[in-house]
Homo-oligomer: A and B are copies of this chain.
């Protein structure tokens, strides 16, 4: 009786047959909105500096390119997270704010910020596990 193909084991550990599907997992759904290299930091930035102008975000979010910024802001807008207000001025002025729905992300953003800080500390201390 050296291996696990015996009846005892098979009966002791029946397989749990829950299915996890990309298209129905609510955590994955959230990740589709917050995922990628820039969404989280952008939401965080707008959360802290709202209303945020385009150029202001371009300067404050280090490393982002103009085209990425435009693209990511559009996607967040399409997802109903932020709103875009255009002022009919020259040169143009556009202000971004979190929508009411976007603000419902707050618990996620806050818990992620908290966790991220502790993860940093753990990494600094050598990640002994």
Contacts and interface: CB of A to CB of B under 8 A. Distances in A.
Q: How many protomers of this protein does the assembly include?
A: 2
Given A101-B129, A107-B111, A108-B108, A40 B31 contact: yes
A78 to B, nearest CB: 8
Contacts of A41: 20, 22, 25, 27-28
A97 interface: no
Contacts of A60: 16-20
A15 interface: yes
Contacts of A79: 119, 127
A81 to B, nearest CB: 9
A2 B112 CA distance: 43
